[in-house]
Amino acid sequence: MVTHPLVRAITLTGSTETGLRVMRMAGLKKLQLELGGKAPAIVLEDADLRDAAKKIVTGSLRLSGQRCDAISRVIVMDGVADELINYIVKETSEWTVGDPRDPKVRVGPLIDSNVVERVHSMVDDALVKGGKLIYGGKYWLTYHEPTVIDNVSRKSRLALEETFGPVIPIIS
């Protein structure tokens, strides 16, 4: 379809690798590519921290974080980081993991066990690089519980790659 002469424009949401392949094949056609966004929530000193925490948690955990527009890192000013983290942990604790057919469950399974392993490897990488596990971190079968990590290194995979899982990395 990308190379078909009647197709004048192409839009794609996907991985950088796929986007590059489509771009090479498209030639001079119009392109709109959304490739591996890393949507930050930026929290400054004058923010309503309770409200920010609710929006961060919802933006990070809805649909188990498996969205292109999920908040996948929190950048917060040092002076309010501890208070924000307390609100985030309180809010995160209300997000139950399990079978999404149960009305009390707010975080369901990830797409498959390979994705769970990839998400958890990103958590492990952040911890090895100095991150501090504040909440969660457990995983089983196709589930990864909501996880909050503080002191995330800007060189960690959690800071650089799209997570597609229920993880809230915090960078002060």
Active-site residue list: 34, 68
Nearest residue to 116 via CA among 138, 95, 137, 142: 142
How would you label 94-119 residue by residue, b for 16+ Cβ within 10 Å and e otherwise?
A: ebebeeeeeeeebbbbbeeeebbebb
Residues 34 and 10 sit within 8 Å (Cβ to Cβ): no
Tokens of 167: 């993880």
Query: How far is Cα 141 from Cα 120, in angstroms, rounded to an integer?
Result: 12
For the chain, the first-to-last Cα distance in angstroms comes to 45
Query: How far is Cα 110 from Cα 120, in angstroms, rounded to an integer?
Result: 12
Residues 166 and 107 sit within 8 Å (Cβ to Cβ): yes
